[in-house]
Amino acid sequence: MTEIYRSTCDLGDGMTVTPPFAMVIFGASGDLTVRKLMPALFHLYLEKRLPEIFQIVGFARRPKTDEQFRAEMKEGVKKFSRSEQWDEKAWAEFESHVFYSVGEFPDASAYERLQQRLLMLPGSREVEGHYLFYLATAPEYFGVVAHHLHGAGLFSESKRQKLIVEKPFGIDGETAEKLTQELQAAVAESLLYRIDHYLGKETVQNLLYFRFANSIYEPLWNRRYIDHVQITVAESEGVGSRGGYFDKSGSLRDMFQNHMMQLLALTAMEPPASLDAESLRNEKVKVLCSIPDFQKEQLSERVVRGQYDGYRNEERVDPKSMTETYVAVKLFVDNWRWSEVPFYLRTGKFLKHRTSEIVVVFRRPPSVLFQAKCGLHLMRNTLRIRLQPDEGIHLCFNAKTPGRGRIESVDMDFKYALEFGSYSPEAYERLLYDALVGDSTLFTRADEVKEAWRIVDSIQNQWQDQPMHTYARGSWGPEAADQLMTCEGNRWLTEEASTRSTAP
Ligand code: BG6
């Protein structure tokens, strides 16, 4: 039999057309709808993943006609869509499925009108109550909207309705728990889709494929072979016009509690029993449960917070603000696989480059042969999983240079764009599609949110005495964050401090 060295295997996920549906977007005049949701829905339409019968209803406070709402959406989609060419004809067809409904979120009668409207829309018989309610509102309305949807009977016994919630899920463990209770009072947990848009990114999903569709890495993926793991989500922009929101949140709540924790969980989790949503989320939550609370006396050695120069002068930011725009954390996953392996995580705004990556640093070879001669000049093997931009995977190992006896570290590269072309769907396309077909694998479950808050609360509630370091815009953050690593002989492996080296 001929051995297959290269192959493709169709998992069959994501190619079918969704069932007929009506999606109601609450807070439809906000940025999210025009920048992310509508472009994603239009793309799904262009790719023929939406059925013939579907309706999208924008719900917000300002009075507007369907035509006005469609015109606004058209302008937005033209501006924010990833398509290079505008397809006027396709938009004209698509927008005939778009409607607008006016209402105040706390007004119960608005939901009754909405219900009537949904029943009157074309194709409502085929939709058969398959409603998706998307909460793109300010978080204080999440509970209110869910309560009124329930009150108006829009969640029926048939359980065909889904509630999609955007972050933030609370501002700490207590508020998150309260929110979960409010939402669960209206709809069962299995019909709740909490969006963490990082999970919709192709490369983040590829983490699972990389780890569990290959056999060569898994035996090495543990404390025996891995020295430490670095996870960086660096942004090159500041808070921009979002100062009002961000100043009440900070990097720990805005990025660490959700996106960073998810990346960590996917990197450290055990292989799930199957690919279904519950098995996968069970394994992720176990990772989070294995991270102990931070003790106050540990914070000075394990947590660094920083604020970029000039942050306090940003629009709608308190001039005395003590909100962090950068956070670096060293933590441990206390289980059999990872005991004593440090995980270093950092995220910040106005850093040198926009980059999100996971670097797995393997242990040094035994101190004989080359290691005995070269010492620290002999680079450790590293595996760099680049999530964005320049998505790819790079394995760095040592090789002999031709001629004289030198060792140089070299890269084995896989680049998404070179291998598969530059097509990369937006995270929201995947997430909306999955919600439409009822696949909750890429959405966070209540217990994940709870555990992530437990960890973050143990930092947040105790770090008032920790210094707030300032850092220059365009740097890699405060120097104190380097010391988190140097005290153990490690360093952040950013692009400049490349993983590559030459040893004599
Ligand atoms: C959001 C945060 O969740 O993620 C923003 O609220 C942040 O502050 C953004 O800028 C980063 O997302 P991405 O996809 O650009 O890496």
Task: Note the pLDDT tens digit of each residue in 157-198.
Answer: 777 899 999 999 999 999 999 999 999 999 999 999 999 999
- 371 CA to centre of ligand 1 in angstroms: 41
Q: Answer for the pair 222, 337: CB distance below 8 angstroms, yes or no.
A: yes
pLDDT at 365: 87
Q: Could you tell me how many helices (H) and strands (E) the chain has, helices first?
A: 19, 17
Q: What is the largest CA-CA distance in the chain?
A: 82
Q: Which two tokens stand for residue 400?
A: 């002999």
Q: Answer for the pair 257, 453: CB distance below 8 angstroms, yes or no.
A: yes
Q: Write the CA distances from 74 to 21, 71, 101, 231, 448, integer angstroms.
A: 21, 5, 17, 38, 37
- 192 CA to centre of ligand 1 in angstroms: 22
- The size of the chain, in residues, is 504
* Nearest Cα residue to 80 out of 493, 500, 428: 428
For 240, how many CA atoms within 13 A lie in the half-sphere containing its CB?
A: 4
43 catalytically annotated? no
What span, in angstroms and rounded, lies between the C-alpha atoms of 100 and 86? Answer: 23
Neighbours of 494 (CB within 10 A): 19
Question: To which H or E segment does residue 101 belong?
Answer: strand 98-102
Q: Answer for the pair 286, 278: CB distance below 8 angstroms, yes or no.
A: no
User: Ligand 1: which residues within 6 Å by Cβ?
Assistant: 235, 254
Helix axes 446-460, 261-268, angle to 10 degrees: 120
For 172, how many CA atoms within 13 A lie in the half-sphere containing its CB?
A: 7
Q: Over the stretch 358-405, which tens digit does the pLDDT of each residue have?
A: 999 999 988 778 877 777 778 899 999 999 888 999 999 999 888 877
Helices (H), 47-107: 66-80, 88-95
What span, in angstroms and rounded, lies between the C-alpha atoms of 224 and 232? Answer: 23
pTM over 0.75: yes
The radius of gyration computed from the CA coordinates of the chain, to the nearest angstrom, equals 24
- Candidate list 97, 197, 259, 394, residue with the active-site label: 259
Helix axes 261-268, 277-289, angle to 10 degrees: 100
pLDDT over 70 at 1, yes or no: no
pLDDT at 404: 74
Q: What is the arithmetic mean of pLDDT over 136-143?
A: 93
* Nearest Cα residue to 14 out of 442, 420, 437: 437
What span, in angstroms and rounded, lies between the C-alpha atoms of 205 and 225? Answer: 24
Asked if residue 389 has a cis previous peptide bond (ω within 30° of 0), the answer is yes
Nearest CA to ligand 1 atom 9: 255
pLDDT over 70 at 260, yes or no: yes
The three state secondary structure string of 409-469 is: EEEEEEEHHHHHCCCCCCHHHHHHHHHHHCCCCCEECHHHHHHHHHHHHHHHCCCCCCCEE
Percent pLDDT > 90 in the chain is 81
What span, in angstroms and rounded, lies between the C-alpha atoms of 129 and 171? Answer: 33
- Give the residue, out of 31, 232, 235, 388, with the most ligand 1 atoms within 8 A of its beta carbon, to mutate for a pocket test: 235
pLDDT band, very low/low/confident/very high, at 5 (cuts 50, 70, 90): low
Pairing of strands 192-195, 162-165: parallel
pLDDT at 4: 60
pLDDT at 12: 65
- 272 CA to centre of ligand 1 in angstroms: 28
- 290 CA to centre of ligand 1 in angstroms: 26
pLDDT over 70 at 264, yes or no: yes
Atom of ligand 1 nearest to the CA of 349: 10
- Range name among 117-131, 218-232, 396-410 with the lowest pLDDT average: 396-410
Q: Which of 137-141, 307-311, 409-413, 492-496 is the most confident on average?
A: 307-311
Given the structure tokens 């069932």, which residue do they identify? 19
Nearest CA to ligand 1 atom 15: 235
What SS3 class is residue 385? strand
Atom of ligand 1 nearest to the CA of 427: 14
Mean residue pLDDT across the chain: 92
Atom of ligand 1 nearest to the CA of 246: 8
- 254 CA to centre of ligand 1 in angstroms: 8
Cα angle value 243/244/246 (rounded, 5°): 60
Q: What is the arithmetic mean of pLDDT over 266-288?
A: 97
What span, in angstroms and rounded, lies between the C-alpha atoms of 99 and 228? Answer: 51
- 328 CA to centre of ligand 1 in angstroms: 17
Atom of ligand 1 nearest to the CA of 254: 6
Q: In what order do the strands lie in the sheet with 468-471?
A: 468-471, 303-308, 326-332, 342-348, 226-234, 355-362, 382-388, 392-400, 407-415, 502-503
Nearest CA to ligand 1 atom 6: 254
pLDDT over 70 at 500, yes or no: no
Nearest CA to ligand 1 atom 4: 255
What span, in angstroms and rounded, lies between the C-alpha atoms of 316 and 395? Answer: 44
* Nearest Cα residue to 270 out of 331, 214, 336: 336
- 355 CA to centre of ligand 1 in angstroms: 12
- Give the residue, out of 252, 255, 354, with the most ligand 1 atoms within 8 A of its beta carbon, to mutate for a pocket test: 255
What span, in angstroms and rounded, lies between the C-alpha atoms of 37 and 101? Answer: 17
pLDDT at 499: 46
For 311, how many CA atoms within 13 A lie in the half-sphere containing its CB?
A: 31
* Nearest Cα residue to 176 out of 450, 478, 392: 450
For 366, how many CA atoms within 13 A lie in the half-sphere containing its CB?
A: 2
- 8-state DSSP, 211: H
Nearest CA to ligand 1 atom 8: 254
For 492, how many CA atoms within 13 A lie in the half-sphere containing its CB?
A: 25
pLDDT over 70 at 208, yes or no: yes
Helix axes 108-120, 142-151, angle to 10 degrees: 60
- 8-state DSSP, 24: E
Atom of ligand 1 nearest to the CA of 198: 14
Q: Answer for the pair 312, 246: CB distance below 8 angstroms, yes or no.
A: no
